[in-house]
Each structure stands twice: as structure tokens, then as C-alpha cells.
Structure 1
């Protein structure tokens, strides 16, 4: 790779920072081409542009890092307004002149560019360099600081370039953990970290717990104690000084924490560490001592960029659909970060309760003759085996929803092929369905067959009343807790005869679920009508599905006619993603809003993305749509909009000045059948009122 040569040059040269240039650009005053007199890192911070270096072009949408060598021509062609770019110029001098041919300078004329997997780390380093470059009061101190910062920035760029080349950026959890480790000595809080990464505190806690085994506060505490142990081993600083250096103003509180986590007070730890120099983490044989952080596999690990994740620059707690939009990305991926230890605990509880026999009886394994049952074989969703549905007695399977007709029941047995290619023999019409993802609930509500269990059921039924309607109050849906690690005990209690699993979420728990009832695995993505038909075919409700689809598509056609007068105006679908930020929800996952023939026929503004993308107020001003449709929790909408109203950019937007800001409850953003019905009605009402 190109940066390998640059790495060699840096290792063999004296590096001198010669210029830092930060600019905010817009298309009204595009920058002129530049012939570089020094080597340059171009850090594209915000906006969209094409950077040309020599004969190579780099397309930047969001954060991008580009390196250009001395003597190369550089030009930036802006594709949006509010573009922010920082140029960092440096020169290389031979560290060992006698090894260089006469007059020859180290050749750093290397060109490369990439979108960094962890842009926050690079942006923070750039911000510190900008701060030091502008420090005129202490030029000697600032100069020394800048040298260190430049090397740190280069190290970060090389690390991320290699990570990008491997195709595996750091996961969200790793980025948060790294931030905590870098800032552990500061007065940081869980709320502050959540705000910085645009997550709710609850979702942040899930990510950290899954990655480390600790809550965010526990991890921060252990991180501080680890640094304190290192300082005790390697410095002569007093306990009070060390406490302050790791973030504790109260020395006595620090000492109590230290003893609780290591089993000994700080001074005793220091004596033992120096008496046993080969023992990095001496811990007292004390029954009350908690295990040291180093005992956990993620406690002090280097960040190698594994466990690729999606960038979730938003504040939503849960996925609302399987499409490629923010709701899926922020939480389905976040759900993968959930602590899988919960599964082990649940399995342990099942064994403790002596439910092995019940698991066997509920499994798909068949018994021999009229005698003893054989041990059920472990099922794998990818093995192509056939599973039979309907092993439970009719007495145990009490209907939870709409009435089944004789014709529906007569359509069974039937064979269904799930999205893994596995054939499932459905011997009788399923009556008690458990869903593995809460977004699937409304599909079964639309088929008039409420599920008997779902993750996060209580919260969704409470928060999504506006779309779910009477089912929110009347449906008896057991709450299975977490999406990835559902409560297996509660699932056993409701005695489902069929479980709906989601690919990408439930492979780890497939065997445990399949021991309770047969599992049918589905992809999370897909059009709402196709998904409704799939679920209907599974439970014999095809006629109900076609009736609902026809009704909803007719409602779309009626809405299309009513919205036709607005077709010449542009509309952006948005979600508030953070302070002075919006999430553009995209034309692909919400295409029925923009399709002229089969949808509502709205028109997207120029620059509006196809998939979820976080945009600043300035970026939104660049699109300047005629209408803003904002999906948000009803209880939070007014307070959040009030914050935007303090900003002049917001008040200058065309839609704001013309009173064309439309609010729709966040429940309507799931892209499910009930959500779409509610969104259509609200959109027509708001546009035409």
C-alpha cells in the first residue's frame, strides 16, 4: 500500500510541521487549484466534494483523509455547501544526512485517500492541532505539543488506513471504549458520552456491556483503576496525586474503590508490585476483592478494528424496520452488541428449574413408537434439514387472535421454505406465534393474529399506540426482553407452536429457540407487502393479507391524488439525530413516499441521500426543501424543535419560513403495514390542512 512507503519515510526522517489551514467553503466561492510546496494531509471534515491530486480523484462524502506530496497539484470541486477542510502541511528532513545522497530529500510524494472507519479519532487530533497552531501565548510549549500531535495524527491515519484496507473498521463499541480510555481522567459521564456519540444512555449501556461485560460506569471505574495501578508501579507520585490524575478529586473515595477492586489499598499494591516486578497485576488473596479488569478479554485489549459495525450517528434506541435505514442500523447492530452472557444465564435457569424434559417434548424431535422419546437433535438454520410444526396438542395451543376458518385449517399440512433455504413442514395451522423482533408484531396484528410473545413488547405497545391502535390495549403479548437474548423461560411459559427468527440476530440462539418450538428464519429487509404475504403464507392467512394490501394500496392512490398539487415542491423525510443535526431517512428504504406510480409521488430535494445519512443544519440548508417531514416521539418533538428555533440557519430554511414543517409520530417510521397507513393519513392531513 502507498502508506507503507510513507511510513518508512517518517521513520527515517525529521518531520517539521510548516502550516495548518482550516477552511469553510461553499459553491459560491470555490477554491482555486494549488501547487503544494510541502507535503499535505487533507482532512475533509464535512460536506461533499471531489479532491483531485495529480491525476487521481477522491470522492469525499463526510470525513475523508487524503495525502498529497510536495510539488503535486491539488484541486477541490465542491458538490455541496458547508464543506469543511483542514490542510496540514509538513516537510521531511533526513534524520541521518550522511546516509542520503548529496542534496536528496526524503521522498514523501505519496498519494492515497480513504474514508476513516473511526472519523471521530482523527477529527479530535485535528482539533488539537488547530488549537495548538493558534496558541500564540506559549509558542515554545505549543510547538512541542504540535510535534507530538502531528505524530499522533499520522499514527492514527496509518492505523485506520490499514483497517480500511482490510475492510474492517472499528465497531461502535470499540470507538466508545477507546474514547473512555483516552478521556478517563476527565469528568466524563454516561450522559455526556451518549450525547457525544448520538446514542441514548440505554443503548450505550448495551453496547459497552456486550463488549466488556461491564456497565459504562463500571468500565470507566475499572479503566481509571488500571491507570492508577500503572502509575503506582512506575512513578513516585503520591496517592492523592494519582487519584487526581485518573479523575478522582476525593482521595478517600478513590482509595475505597481501589481496595474494593484489587483487595488491597494503593500503597500496599505499590509495595507488592515493586517486590514482584514480573507480576503486572498483584492482587491480594482476599475473598472480597473483585477480579481485576485485565482478567476480562476486552479490558485492556488493543483495538484492531475487528467486529465491523455501521456508523450510527443518531439517537434512536430501537430498530423500527429491517430496511437499510437509521432505525435498523442504530439498534439491530446495537442489539448484536448486547451481552451474550445473558443467554448463558437463561440457559442455566432452565436447567436449574428441571425443564429439560419439557424442552425435549416441545422440540421437533419425534418419539419411537409408543415408548420413550429420543433425544432431540440440535437444529441448525443452515443445514437444510426439515422441521415439523404442530407437535403440541390442540389443548395446549389456545388461539390468541383472530378466528380460523375451516378452509384455512384445511390448507395444512404445508411446507414452507424460509430465508435460509430450510424446509419446515407445518402440520397444522399455527395459532400461537412468538416473534423474535418487535417490528414483526404489527404484521401479525394486520393479519388479525396477535403474537403471544415478542421482545420489548410492553414498551412498543405503550409507545406505538398511535399506529397499533386497539391492539396496544387489548393484545396479550408476553415481553421477552432483549432482541438478541430473549427470555427463554418466559418463552417456554407461553407455549408457542411457531417462532419467527431474524437472520443476523438469532443464529446464536437458534438451537435454544428451536428446542422450544420450530423456528422459521427471515431476512430483516424487504418490502412491507412482500413480508406480509410471507407471514400470511406461513399461518394460512393469504386472503387476509391480500385484502389488507389492496386496501392500503388504494389508500396510497387516493393520497397520491390529494398530494399531486405539491409534486412540484420538494420534501425531505427527517429524524432529529442530535444537537443541530438531522438524519435524512433516504429515498430507498422509504421509496413509497417518492414513487410516482405506486406511492405518494413526493419529490426529494437535490442532494437528498438514497439511504440514511446524518446531515448538519448547514447541509439541510444546502438542500433547502419546500417541506420538512419530521418523525419524532410526540413527547419530545416540541422541546427538540424549540432548540432548533434558536438557530438562525433553521429559521432561514424555506420550509420553516413558509410553515411547511410537518410532524409525524416516530411509530410511523417502521415501514410496517400499520405504520404506513398512519403515515399516509397524517401526511395528507398536514399537507392539505
Structure 2
């Protein structure tokens, strides 16, 4: 039952703004289709008869009938004979500082969004006020606009009084049906929760909460599933490219479309199309009737200007309402039948009841993959080293890794699908038991990454805008690849679901390293308390002292060689892990019983390094005189687990030479 006391209270407290007053005349059999009310509105028929649909619910209207619909209501009219009516558009809102009780009452009752249609007992007074409003509205002076507002209040007062006396029941619009209809009509466009809430005259929070109560999912989730459903149809029934399909369902960004598609369907769009085409090789007559919807039909919209005066237009620019002549009686019968079926599917709006989704709406819900408890357990929330919170698979299968620690994955029995091959070139012997992943290039080629269909992308370092680009394809996790192996491997293992394997690998590594140093001590190759220093040499003759990472980490283990206090006191400039060394200061910085030299095994580096070996400064180094210099290929200086294992095997051989 309508509580007229509540309605009167809200009308009395609301700030009212008349947005437009129009008079429209339609010829016999003329149609108005797809007009969405830009604000709350009264429709008052002057003469003639027509069928009028409010959100798909049909009303048979003759002279002196009044209809009301809220902002966002979908209006269709079909004139049975010449039909004339007034359209009075208005906006109502409570003052911002009104009592909380009124705000709650507005959410519960919202008289400005109600839908109703009836024939008043005393229509002439209402007709006179509508005519006066139209006459005054045609003047631009502020005084006449004030008079329109006064007349509007009188119109509403008389209308509500007659509704009360006649026992007219108003019904709340089916919010879920309104949203679903809007999304079906506009899924190709950019849509946000805020824009839908504004269109339907609700707060975003209320719209989202009520829609989820009625459908079990959020409006945006419903939109995504609807778009993916449409995309699946296009992929199977057209020859459109992935970019064309993406754009036609509202995703101009192909990377983001592919990520959404995979999330909801379980496979990339290209793979889906191929698999479905294989299935469709068996002739199915039912598929012959499917038509492509990739070409946008003409959509009707309204302009929302700063003063909130709204005008309908077609894509060609024609203002006011879009009309078209009825082509045939058969077309009308089919159209009416479709609309009546839609109305039945949308549910009865009487008594504020909620609706049952139409068959087309149900198919959307049923075809979209539901988030079952079992499915929910396949992902988890993860916070990376940059503070980004992202949902990642519990056990990712297709990993793209940007960085130089691929050996961490291989040591744990995981084969990435994409890597930067710069970091594995020339290491065929090191990775001979593995099948290197495809090359993602440098800078990272994200089209290539997209083609690999990853379920997670791991970034050991980041370049400008890379996180944004990668996030359009798959969940992205950022980590610091420069962390020491013992700190980094548990992080990697946690990401890929290999915690136990990582713990076991580290325990085995420590045991083997300890055994190696004990063997070297027993053989007399090193002595207890001896020191070591690490120099890295580049082809351009630049030299750096290394205190950590790769080879240094293994040398300076608890059971290994020590770092001289003079070397320990040296510190790099800035964030660099390296300390610059020149020929002039070699004797002051390269202090240690053993000198380990890292240099690239290429011709340029070898040529310049040979020049250094011939200098008196080099020959005078204590380690050179004592034959305690060891040359190590820089390929063995990576900090990943697999390289560390290889270095563990090679180091005793180097020292024994």
C-alpha cells in the first residue's frame, strides 16, 4: 500500500526543478522507440489513444490519462490513432543537510521514481495547468519560469489528491530489470557504476546493493559477463578479428579484453575461437540462423548539459524524440508480442514486486561462469613488494617472467612460458635439461606476452608504464629480483605454490655448500681465516669490486672465505651494488688472499683484459704473485637458484687449478 503521508512529506521537503515542458503529437500508427527519460516525468494525454510502455510494461492510454516514470525509465509509445500528450520533465532532490531519517525514507519510498498510470476523475483542472505550464515555458524570462514551478506544484497537489481518493497504487520500478535493460542496450559503450546511478537517479551505493540483492551479482560484474557472452557469440559466428570483437563489446583495449575474457571463460579468446570452430565442423542447422551483431545499431541518447536540460537526439543530430512510421501490421504484431513477452519476463510492477528475469536475461546469467566455492579457492589475494594487491592463481601454470632469475623457477620444477632470452643466451649447457620459454624481448613485447595466454606476469624490474600494460593481460606481481637468493626464493616459491620445495632446495644448497668448503679445507686449497675479494671486468675496461650477489654470496658464506675489513669498509655510491675500481687504486681496494675475476667470455672483453694483464700494476698484485687469481665467466654470476647450483659445482674446480 502507498503511504501517502510519506509521499507528501518527501514532496514537501524536496527541492523541485522543472526541466522541460513539451507538447507532442503523433500520427496514427506512428511509433516512439527507445526513449529513456532523462529525469522524472509526467505524461498527460490530451486526446487520442496509444499503447505506452514503461520499462516494457504496457498501458492502454486514451484521453486524459496520466503516467509517471522516474529518471532512466525506458519509454515506448505506439499511437493507435492520432495521439497528443504533454511531457513534463522535472528533477527532485532532498537538501544536502536534511535529516538522515528523510534520506532513508527517500531510499525506501522514492516517489519521484515510482511508476503509475490512471485516468483522474477530474481531468480538466490538470489539463488547464499543463496548458499554462507549456505557455509559460515558451518564455525565457525568469518570472515565467517561476510561474511554471508554481503551476507544477499545483499540478502535483491536485494529482496526488485524486490518486489518494481513487485508491491508485503506484509501483516501484524493477531496478534490476531497468539496469539489465540498460546494459543490454548500451554494453558497447563506456559504462560506470556512477553513470548508471546518475541515469536511474539513485546513489551508486544503493544501486549496487539493491542490484546484488536482486540478482546475486554486482552491476559491473553483470556487464562484464554480458560483454563476454556477446564476444563468445561473435567469435563463433563471424570472421571479425579479435580487435573488432573487443571494440564491438565495449573493450577498445585488446589486452584488457583478453584478460577479462580469460578470467570469465577460462581460456584466451583466440584459443576459444579455435576450439569452437573445431566443434562446429559437424553441421548444425540451428547455427544457420545466427546473425552477427558486430555492427552497432542506431542508439538514441540524451545530452546532459550543465543546467540539466536534456534533449533526445539521434546519431544524425536530430533533436527531440525519434519517431518512425509503422511499416506493416505484421511487423506490429511481432513487435507487440515481443514487448509483451519482455514485460512478462520483467515481472509485474504492481505492488512494488520484484521481477523474474526474462529468458534472455536468464541465459546471460546461466552462461556466465559462476563463482562457486571451488572456483574461489583457485585464486588468492597477494600483496607484492610495491604494495599492489592482486588476485593470483594458487598454482599458476602459465607464467611470464621479466627479469634474470629464471633459474629460480627451473630449480623448483616450473617452466615459464615467456622469458627475456638475453639472460639465457649462451647458457645452453647450463639449461640443457630445460626447454627455454619463448622470448618476450626487451623492452618487453606485450603483444607477444598476450599471445602466450599467461595466468600471471611476474616483473623482477619495471620500466615506465609496464605495470599498466601488463595488468591489461593478466594479474601482475612485482618483486625485487636483486634480493639475495635466500630471501628471494621463498618469495618466488610463495607466488608459484612451491614453498616446501623451496625450503628443501635451500636446505640442500646450504648442506652442499658447507660440504664443499669442508672438502677445500681438507685438501688445503683454502685455509681457515683466509680472505677473498671479487672484481668484475667489462669489455669497456670498467672495473668494479663486488661485495654481494652471485659469486660473492657463495664465497662469503659462514663456512667459506672472509671479507677483509678494508674491503668491508668500502661502500658504493648511490644504489649501485658495485664499487668502482681503477688501475691506480687496485692495490688499495683489491685486498684479499684470493682474487676472483669475473669477465664476459667475448672477444672484445678478452682483448682489453689481456692488455690489463700485461701492466706492471696487475703483475704486482699479491694474489697474482701467489697464484691465487681465479677467472670466472660472468654467466656464473647470476643469483638465480639454477646458476647458484652450477657455481657450487664449478668453484672447487676453479680453485683446484
- TM superposition score category, shorter chain reference: 0.3 to 0.5
Structure of higher CA gyration radius: 2
TM-score by length of 1: 0.39
TM-score by length of 2: 0.41
